[in-house]
Structure 1
Amino acid sequence: SPVAKEIAQELRKKYMVEFDDSGAIGRRYRRADEIGTPFAVTVDFETLDDKSVTIRDRDSMEQVRVPIAELPNWLGSRLPA
């Protein structure tokens, strides 16, 4: 989606980003896990309504909703610069 691509472009300014929009979400998470991605950011149907994304932590498998505007700070507090 255009929103997902815009988020990826913004995050690339500071982080390594792998954009994957193919296949089912479970397969995307598996691919992200295989390459060692610490957090997977998912844009879904709710994103357009509530302007938030789902973030999945690779290690704990926990998922949280985070407003798009807070995403860079959320990641910044959990990833090395």
Structure 2
Amino acid sequence: PPPLPPWQIVRERRATFAATPAQNALRPGPVTALKNLFLAGDWTATGLPATIEGSVRSGDRAADLVLAANPEKRP
């Protein structure tokens, strides 16, 4: 097989937030002050830890809010 290209492993200890009750209270919901901007991501208030499941739940919730805000654009 051909040789591997140059690579490195990066470990970042601060890549995720501390899942403490105080930090969980700071996680934002999907609604913002702008009527056409919604937040999604594992770092938002999903009721789950910062996981792929939290990301999916957050994206689904934000998409539902977008559709509810724009009923004329529903598929």
* TM-score bracket for the superposition, by shorter chain length: under 0.3
Q: Specify which structure has the higher proportion of strand.
A: 1
TM-score by length of 2: 0.27
TM-score by length of 1: 0.26
